[in-house]
Structure 1
């Protein structure tokens, strides 16, 4: 069978589905192909945070206001279509574990222009009032706008919503060949998709293709573990401290993440990863770590770039070929906003932000 579409997107994760959403709003036909299933890659984590205060100093993330508005609005839109609760606006606590860390976090906050109420400095006593028993030295940050998301469930609901909007979704079909004659052809095991435009949004697999193997992308394996407490948890917020603790809508469980493995020889979760996560938990909530049981583990491979910004844009040589990759650990925060941004680029001829434009990588393409 030969299926024709205006846009074909390879990858059904955060990048691919966000792009599909924007394209469908412009009244074009869209097909998404994934060799596995929706959220099968790094986007499928069971616990993620929308956290605009990143890094050890809690620096305000790039385009924080626009990115937060885009993802918060989209989460609410998709949640209204789903019977499964996949996200909570439950706030985020960032305790400092060392005096030096507290000093740097406080200084960073004081010199940063935050929207009213987004990022509040709390003393050590105030932090411990919010969360009794937590390790804290000299204070920390409270972000009441922090969101906790089961990303895998979100993307499953997102795909269902987009199919109702007209998306043609093909899963479990790995492209055998991609070539161009009068349009882009994607040969699948039992069909061929013909598309005017093709997008590569396959995470770690994007730069493994001959078209994008020149992209400066680093692969980082991340493991998370879901823990269950024998007693109801005493807190309902999430925590960012030596990794993160994502607190879903469950009184007994939470997700601890994440490892940052630059050198790895397999893609599966393992005992070493679990012990690493437990060690980090002990630094923040030692009494909790002693009692919780590991009930599940997950692993995925994220793509990162030298400037820690995603890569988005058209191929320098192949017409109507595009890429969206390098979301790293900020896929939730960046994905929808940047998809909207690329929609403006395609349909309104606006310029791409230099920080994310694929043009910044062209020196690699010419080598």
Structure 2
């Protein structure tokens, strides 16, 4: 897949006020997650080589708009578990994974099309074996548009954007262990809205989103039934000589709103009507990630109608907070040579 550089307008809001900060324009490099085709299945499917999590299938409620009006979830940003005695300065050893919410249409007339709107967090292993994360938004098949750390670092924001806001708190970088809330809305086949909150820092950001190439049919979310997606993804450009391992991830507040009888205000922050779906609805399903050579990579475990847990067999009982503390005290990175 190829990426495109576009201008995305992100409207940053202060968490402590209902007044929006004036919109700022940022050019964000569209870096592809290199995802392969994902098509919502008409029958249950349980395993995949790069995705694990849950889906909610939604019936068609409008003949000319995507079936899924909104999809929401909350999750803890994962820590990746480093291997001992691994040289993480070698990029091929630096695993990468994502956690995201997505909206997909299932009635594509062209079988090669699978456009969908998604947003979430990435976690990558740094060269010293510690986890680093960022947030992003993507209108597939274009690449992801990351919210760069430089735009989320307090000191620079104080100088560049917040110095004239006496009560403005600088937006901090997303970190492993943070709790993120993401809600997506679709307005048309090529337009939508993102509302993302870092519940750990209190910062909120939101913006209208338009597909990178709205006139291209391969970017237009398909009609028919739809699927709300809640996934952990092992980004497939990474070296797969060893299994992905991470601390347990809980997706909570998992829900979708079908478009039937939806009446929404222009800004999309709340809807009236619509059909509510959760993990207890017909059409909800779970996916496990399995690699042909490495075996089970992730297991999805239902908790209740609104939440489920995703764990890696290697990391299920790993405590990342203890590992980080030990690394800081010893002077080694979390993936250093000291056992």
Both structures adopt the same fold (TM-score exceeding 0.5): no
Q: Which has the higher helix share?
A: 1
Q: Scaled by the length of structure 1, what TM-score is found? A: 0.24
Q: Which has the larger radius of gyration?
A: 1
Looking at both structures, which has the greater relative contact order when contacts are Cα pairs under 8 Å and sequence separation is at least 6? Answer: 2
Q: Scaled by the length of structure 2, what TM-score is found? A: 0.26
